[in-house]
Each structure stands twice: as structure tokens, then as C-alpha cells.
């Protein structure tokens, strides 16, 4: 959406689209009233856009866990690490570290929701997923935008909460129905 247009945010209420600077300073965490810094949110969006969304498995570094894929992005004092297992059905966890300490994490699980898809069709669904994930937005910085369509696929993502504590689902559908589904949840990490 363009700035100034109306849409539904993660609360489900109709709202005016925030400017990037204004929205960055409004991310509250649960707990002791701390705010996620604008630098953190900007880093998180950039990390998500530069790892799996941009490069798929080509962004993989040497994994610490056998059988996993591990993607990383580092900038300044922040490190983003995404570790996952599986292809058609998978589970994973994204973690952001600041100065070597975990400060935020999101777990996810899901995958191909329809039997009988060929590996070429699976790759096509995941290519569209990466396209949607590159469109991750400030008002919903968890996965992709609320809605995105590039025929034959339609992506949808629905979330509740904010970066301090959240959960949601995403799905990809085509003319035959749901082809992919994922559930996610996460929170600020308190030490």
C-alpha cells in the first residue's frame, strides 16, 4: 500500500498506513515497556529481505546443526540467523542477536499443503513465497505482506500482536486451492 492509503494492520482495525520513520518508533515490546529501536526494526526487515527471500538456499552458511540449512545476515552489532530443517514440510527458527546476545526470535513450521505436487511445482510455490517475503512490510514485519498476487498464486499473511509477542499464519493458493501453509510465533527475548 502507498502511504496515506487505508488498510488493516495486525490488530485487524482499519488504519492509515504509517510512514516508515513513524512506525519504527511505535513498536512496543511486552515486559517493562521497552521499545524496539528503529535500528533493530530496520535491521530485521533488511535481514529478511537479504537471506531466504533474496537467495533461497544459496544464502546458506555452514550449519551448526546436522541436517539443517542455516542462513545469516550481519550488520553492525546485529546478527540474524535462520535455521530450518526440511523442504516440502519444514520447521525453523529465526533469531536476532545484538552484541552476541539473543534479543528476538520467531519459530515457524509448515510447508506444501497439497499432495501430488511435482518437485518443479514445489520450487514454483517456493519461488513465489520468496517473492512475497521480499515485500515484508513495516506494519507486519514477520513474514510477507498481508496480501500479494502474481498469477497463478495468491499469498496471504495474518498476524496478531507486535514484535514483542506475536503469532500468525501464511498461505499460498492457486486455482486448485491452498498449496502451502505455515504457522509462526515469536517474541522479544528477555535476559
Q: Render the chain in DSSP notation, one character per residue.
A: --TT-EEE-TT--EEEPPPHHHHHTT-BPSSSS-B--HHHHHHHHHHHHHTHHHHGGGGEE--SSTT-EEEEEEETTEEEEEEEEESSEEEEEEEEEETTEEEEEEEEEEEE-STT--HHHHHHHHHHHHHHHTT-BTTBTTSS-SEEEETTEEEEEEEEEETTEEEEEEEEEETTEEEEEEEEEEEEPP-
* Residue 44 CA from chain centroid, whole number: 9
Distance CA 126, CA 155 (A): 11
Residue 117 has pLDDT above 90, yes or no: yes
Q: What is the pTM of this model?
A: 0.80
Residue-wise pLDDT for 63-90, tens only, equals 889 999 999 999 999 999 999 999 999 9
Residue-wise pLDDT for 159-189, tens only, equals 999 999 999 999 999 999 999 999 999 999 9
Average of per-residue pLDDT across 6-10: 42
Residue 23 has pLDDT above 60, yes or no: no
β-partners of residue 14 are 8
Q: Which residues contact 22 (CB under 8 A, 6 or more apart)?
A: none
Could you tell me the three cell numbers for 25? 518508533
Nearest to 88 by CA among 190, 181, 18: 181
What are the sequence ranges of the domains in the chain? Answer: 6-188
Q: Of residues 31 and 151, which shows the higher confidence score?
A: 151
Q: What confidence score (pLDDT) does residue 33 get?
A: 38
Average of per-residue pLDDT across 131-141: 90
CA atoms within 13 A on the CB side of 165: 6
Task: For cell 544464502, name the residue.
Answer: 59
Distance CA 3, CA 5 (A): 6
Reported confidence tier of residue 190, pLDDT bands at 50, 70, 90: confident
Residue-wise pLDDT for 39-68, tens only, equals 899 999 999 998 987 876 666 788 889 999
Amino acid at each position: 500500500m502507498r502511504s496515506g492509503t487505508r488498510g488493516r494492520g495486525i490488530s485487524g482495525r482499519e488504519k492509515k498506513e504509517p510512514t516508515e520513520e513513524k512506525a519504527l518508533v511505535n513498536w512496543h515490546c511486552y515486559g517493562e515497556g521497552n521499545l524496539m529501536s528503529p535500528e533493530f526494526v530496520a535491521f530485521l526487515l533488511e535481514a529478511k529481505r537479504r537471506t531466504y527471500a533474496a537467495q533461497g538456499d544459496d544464502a546458506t552458511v555452514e550449519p551448526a546443526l546436522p541436517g539443517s540449512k542455516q542462513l545469516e545476515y550481519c550488520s553492525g552489532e546485529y546478527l540474524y540467523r535462520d535455521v530450518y530443517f526440511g523442504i516440502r514440510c519444514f520447521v525453523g527458527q529465526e533469531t536476532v542477536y545484538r552484541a552476541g546476545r539473543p534479543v528476538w526470535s520467531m519459530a515457524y513450521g509448515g510447508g506444501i499443503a497439497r499432495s501430488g505436487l511435482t518437485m518443479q511445482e514445489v520450487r514454483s510455490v517456493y519461488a513465489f513465497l520468496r517473492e512475497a517475503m521480499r515485500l515484508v512490510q513495516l506494519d507486519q514485519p514477520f513474514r510477507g505482506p498481508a496480501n500479494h498476487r502474481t498469477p497463478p498464486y495468491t499469498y496471504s499473511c495474518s498476524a496478531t500482536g507486535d514484535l514483542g509477542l506475536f503469532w500468525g499464519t501464511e498461505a499460498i493458493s492457486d486455482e486448485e486451492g491452498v498449496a502451502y501453509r505455515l504457522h509462526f510465533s515469536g517474541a522479544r527475548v528477555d535476559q
